[in-house]
């Protein structure tokens, strides 16, 4: 039995099970979701960190520029949210430094400042596209700030950290769906998120992404499915991706996309 919060997509879940794709919640996932990507692009569902940027890159690679345009807008809004969190986290770090702790402030680079200072433009672009960005720009950030500056996060890494995400995208009835987790903990508690985590020693980004997908949602690639694609987005180095104090020098992150075209399978 799959452990999936279905959001009404019963046909998709049933079809995935037919082809041997089952999910089971584990690790730090509060639930497994199969969501219509449009719900993310239209601002109904928020994603943590910089996840929506990888969704943008994946949609571009799949030849869906109009959907990618909406994802780019949500990504800009997510950068504004993350910048707000980082500014608040830096104030907490400053307080700890004043007490004698050896800590480093999070970097707020010029791209982040430029996007953050043009929030009005992002709202205008959202109106033009007919989407909402309130899930990023009007959400309560108190829990995120607390989770980004707790004792674990104040024990800082002194190097850029390597992380990886798994992005399973499924096409059915000419719509694109994402198999994702609901984050159990902050930052981004209750957000729709990719399975992902830190790349371990002697592991590639792609190997880490596939391991995390197995650990967090029991997702394994079904090699017998012929109408699928696997490709990577990134890696990118980013200061805005992860607002946690733990990583003051930013992250190097790559996503591994597994795209399954069920429409092509069913019509064969």
Gap between the Cα atoms of 228 and 261, Å rounded: 6
Cis ω before 37 (30° cut-off from 0):
no
Q: Where are the alpha helices (DSSP H) in the chain?
A: 10-18, 37-41, 51-61, 65-98, 110-116, 119-129, 134-137, 142-148, 151-154, 205-217, 262-267
Gap between the Cα atoms of 185 and 137, Å rounded: 20
Nearest 5°: the CA angle 116, 122, 123 is 120
* Chain position carrying tokens 């020098």: 249
**Which residues have C-beta within 8 Å of that of residue 266, sequence separation ≥ 6?**
15
Give me the residue spans of the domains in the chain.
10-267
pLDDT tens sequence for the chain (268 residues): 344 454 445 667 777 777 777 777 776 678 888 899 999 999 999 999 999 999 999 999 999 999 999 999 999 999 999 999 999 999 999 999 999 999 999 999 999 999 999 999 999 999 999 999 999 999 999 999 999 999 999 999 999 999 999 999 999 889 999 999 998 888 999 899 999 999 999 999 999 999 999 888 888 776 666 667 899 999 999 999 999 999 999 999 999 999 988 888 776 5
Cis ω before 187 (30° cut-off from 0):
yes
**Residue 267: both structure tokens together:** 């019509």
Gap between the Cα atoms of 188 and 89, Å rounded: 15
**What pLDDT was estimated at residue 10?**
60
């Amino acid at each position: 039995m799959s452990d999936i919060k279905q959001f009404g997509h019963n046909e998709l879940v049933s079809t995935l099970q037919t082809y041997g794709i089952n999910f089971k919640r584990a690790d730090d996932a509060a639930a497994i979701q199969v969501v219509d990507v449009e719900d993310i692009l239209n601002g109904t569902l928020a994603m943590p960190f910089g996840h929506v940027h990888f969704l943008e890159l994946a949609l571009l690679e799949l030849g869906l520029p109009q959907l990618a345009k909406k994802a780019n807008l949500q990504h800009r809004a997510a950068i504004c949210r993350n910048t707000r969190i980082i500014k608040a986290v830096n104030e907490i770090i400053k307080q700890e430094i004043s007490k004698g702790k050896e800590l480093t402030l999070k970097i707020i680079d010029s791209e982040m400042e430029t996007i953050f200072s043009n929030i009005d433009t992002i709202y205008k672009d959202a109106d033009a596209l007919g989407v909402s960005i309130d899930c990023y720009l009007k959400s309560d950030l108190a829990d995120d700030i607390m989770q980004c500056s707790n004792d674990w996060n104040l024990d800082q890494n002194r190097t850029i950290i390597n992380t990886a995400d798994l992005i399973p995208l499924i096409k059915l009835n000419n719509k694109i769906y994402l198999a994702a987790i609901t984050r159990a903990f902050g930052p981004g508690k209750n957000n729709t998120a990719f399975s992902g985590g830190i790349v371990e020693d002697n592991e590639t980004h792609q190997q880490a992404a596939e391991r995390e997908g197995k650990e967090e949602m029991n997702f394994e690639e079904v090699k017998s499915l012929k109408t699928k694609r696997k490709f990577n987005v990134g890696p990118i180095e980013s200061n805005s991706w992860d607002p946690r104090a733990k990583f003051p020098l930013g992250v190097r992150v790559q996503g591994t996309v597994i795209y399954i075209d069920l429409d092509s399978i069913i019509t064969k």
